[in-house]
């Protein structure tokens, strides 16, 4: 449903060298799939989504292969309007009309998309019911909570029955309960058929939250405009198999200093009241043994030291450090 190759985007700077926001990125997303773009701020996630939806044009790379973008069978660089008709896009910031009511916003975007009254009236109520806003159709958008605004934005993006959904950090700044509700909507959307052939929506969602990343079917990790790795959450976690040790002790600062001095420990990260140690392959048992022998010599207390399954946070911290 989405097939993009060699995406490249450079922005000119007035007093310095040009900035490359996306560098030779290729990705493909199938119907019914939720693909997560993850990475730190400035990694190029938003620019990638804007390239896919036609809001930005790729920058030609000297001597490199030209960019291609296929959306639901349409060439976005030559059939831009046809391709855009297949896309629902939810920007990172609320971009609807706050002086209009919920229903007026949906009607406006439906009519902009060319839907007749006979088409948009039943569709509006169907989609507002789906996102949980059917009881708020006469409330002005500016009076909605942050989570409800994002649901309204999602409804506007869905009103024309798109085959591709691009969501740019849709749950940033909303409360945990609303995040959970929003993701339930995304998961349900990916299973909904959109045509007579039973084809499903393809979803790309960028997110800074690792618990959300774990809900995606596949993930792509971006840094400095590059797509470093792709895979399912399980495949990415397997990259650090048998290399994460969890430790907890008091005082925690002393424990952290001790493990940092161990030559087999590559990195130490705080996870609440405990530490995650990324160790060299094949050294987890030895690191734990040394820790148990050394910590406590001066009255410290070690309450936990064990090898655990890697979390996505562990993987992405390791990727952030790679080649840095």
The CATH number of residue 175's host domain is 3.40.50.300
193 belongs to a structural domain:
yes
Do 206 and 89 contact (CB within 8 A), yes or no?
Answer: no
Q: In this structure, are 279 and 262 located in the same domain?
A: yes
| Domain end marker among 135, 161, 187 | 161
319 belongs to a structural domain:
no
Return the closest-CA partner of residue 48 out of 31, 26, 29, 63.
Answer: 26
Instruction: Using the predicted structure, report yes or no on whether residue 178 has a pLDDT greater than 90.
Output: no
Q: In this structure, are 102 and 218 located in the same domain?
A: no
Range picked from 76-90, 185-199, 287-301 for highest mean pLDDT: 76-90
269 belongs to a structural domain:
yes
Contacts of the segment 232-239: beta carbons below 8 A, 24+ positions apart:
233/312, 236/312, 236/315, 237/309, 237/310, 237/311, 237/312, 237/314, 237/315, 238/310, 239/310, 239/315, 239/318
| Domain end marker among 108, 133, 161 | 161
C-alpha to C-alpha distance for 305 and 182, rounded to whole angstroms? 37
Q: In this structure, are 76 and 174 located in the same domain?
A: yes
CB atoms within 10 A of CB 45: 27
CA torsion 205→59→2→202, rounded to 10°? 20
Q: In this structure, are 168 and 60 located in the same domain?
A: yes
316 belongs to a structural domain:
no
313 belongs to a structural domain:
no
297 belongs to a structural domain:
yes
Q: What is the mean pLDDT of residues 261-267?
A: 95
> Can you give the pTM of this predicted structure?
0.91
**pLDDT averaged over every residue in the chain:** 91
Structural domain count of the chain: 3
35 belongs to a structural domain:
yes
Q: In this structure, are 115 and 254 located in the same domain?
A: no
Q: How far is CA 301 from CA 143, 174, 184, 247, 274, in A?
A: 52, 39, 42, 11, 13
- Residue given tokens 């806003």 in the structure block: 133
**Binning pLDDT at 50, 70 and 90, where does residue 163 land?**
very high
Q: In this structure, are 200 and 61 located in the same domain?
A: yes
C-alpha to C-alpha distance for 122 and 145, rounded to whole angstroms? 25
Instruction: Using the predicted structure, report yes or no on whether residue 15 has a pLDDT greater than 80.
Output: no
CB atoms within 10 A of CB 187: 13
Tokens of 303: 């309450």
Q: Which domain holds residue 247?
A: 242-308
Q: In this structure, are 30 and 48 located in the same domain?
A: yes
Q: What is the mean pLDDT of residues 160-176?
A: 89
Q: What is the CATH number of the domain that holds 283?
A: 3.30.70
Q: In this structure, are 212 and 180 located in the same domain?
A: yes
Q: In this structure, are 115 and 218 located in the same domain?
A: no
134 belongs to a structural domain:
yes
C-alpha to C-alpha distance for 96 and 80, rounded to whole angstroms? 23
**Binning pLDDT at 50, 70 and 90, where does residue 116 land?**
confident
Q: In this structure, are 197 and 293 located in the same domain?
A: no
| Domain end marker among 198, 232, 266 | 232
- Torsion angles phi and psi, residue 229, rounded to 5: -145, 155
Instruction: Using the predicted structure, report yes or no on whether residue 3 has a pLDDT greater than 80.
Output: yes
Q: In this structure, are 157 and 217 located in the same domain?
A: no
Q: Over the stretch 135-159, which tens digit does the pLDDT of each residue have?
A: 999 999 999 988 899 899 999 999 8
Q: In this structure, are 253 and 141 located in the same domain?
A: no
Do 40 and 46 contact (CB within 8 A), yes or no?
Answer: no
HSE-up of residue 198 (Cα within 13 Å, Cβ side): 0
Q: Over the stretch 63-102, which tens digit does the pLDDT of each residue have?
A: 889 999 999 999 999 999 999 999 999 988 878 899 999 9
Do 237 and 310 contact (CB within 8 A), yes or no?
Answer: yes
C-alpha to C-alpha distance for 307 and 108, rounded to whole angstroms? 55
Instruction: Using the predicted structure, report yes or no on whether residue 18 has a pLDDT greater than 70.
Output: yes
């Amino acid at each position: 449903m989405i097939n993009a190759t060699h995406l490249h985007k450079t922005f000119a700077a007035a007093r310095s060298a040009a900035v490359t926001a996306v560098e030779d990125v290729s990705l493909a997303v199938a119907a019914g799939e939720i693909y997560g773009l993850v990475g730190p701020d400035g990694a190029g996630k938003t620019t990638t989504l804007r390239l896919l939806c036609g809001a930005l044009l790729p920058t030609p790379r000297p001597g490199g292969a030209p960019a291609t973008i296929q959306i639901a069978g349409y060439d976005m660089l030559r059939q831009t309007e046809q391709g855009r008709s297949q896309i629902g896009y939810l920007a990172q910031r609320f971009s609807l009309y706050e002086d209009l009511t919920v229903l007026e916003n949906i009607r406006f975007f439906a009519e902009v998309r060319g839907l007749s009254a006979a088409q948009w009236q039943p569709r509006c109520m169907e989609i507002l019911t789906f996102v949980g806003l059917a009881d708020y159709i006469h409330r002005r958008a500016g009076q909605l909570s942050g989570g409800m605004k994002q649901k309204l934005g999602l409804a506007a993006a869905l009103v024309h029955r798109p085959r591709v959904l691009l969501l740019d950090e849709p749950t940033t700044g909303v409360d945990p309960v609303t995040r959970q509700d929003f993701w339930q909507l995304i998961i349900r959307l990916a299973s909904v058929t959109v045509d007579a052939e039973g084809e499903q929506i393809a979803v790309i969602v960028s997110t800074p939250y690792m618990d959300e990343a774990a809900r995606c079917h596949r993930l792509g990790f971006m840094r400095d405009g590059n797509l470093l790795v792709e895979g399912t959450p399980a495949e990415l976690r397997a990259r650090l198999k048998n290399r994460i040790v969890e430790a907890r002790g008091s005082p925690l600062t002393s424990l952290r200093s001790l493990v940092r001095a161990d030559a087999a420990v590559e990195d130490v990260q705080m996870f609440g009241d405990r530490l995650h140690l990324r160790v060299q392959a094949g050294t987890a048992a030895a690191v734990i043994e040394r820790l148990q022998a050394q910590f406590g010599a001066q009255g410290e207390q070690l309450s936990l030291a064990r090898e655990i399954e890697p979390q996505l946070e562990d993987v992405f911290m390791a990727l952030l450090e790679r080649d840095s």
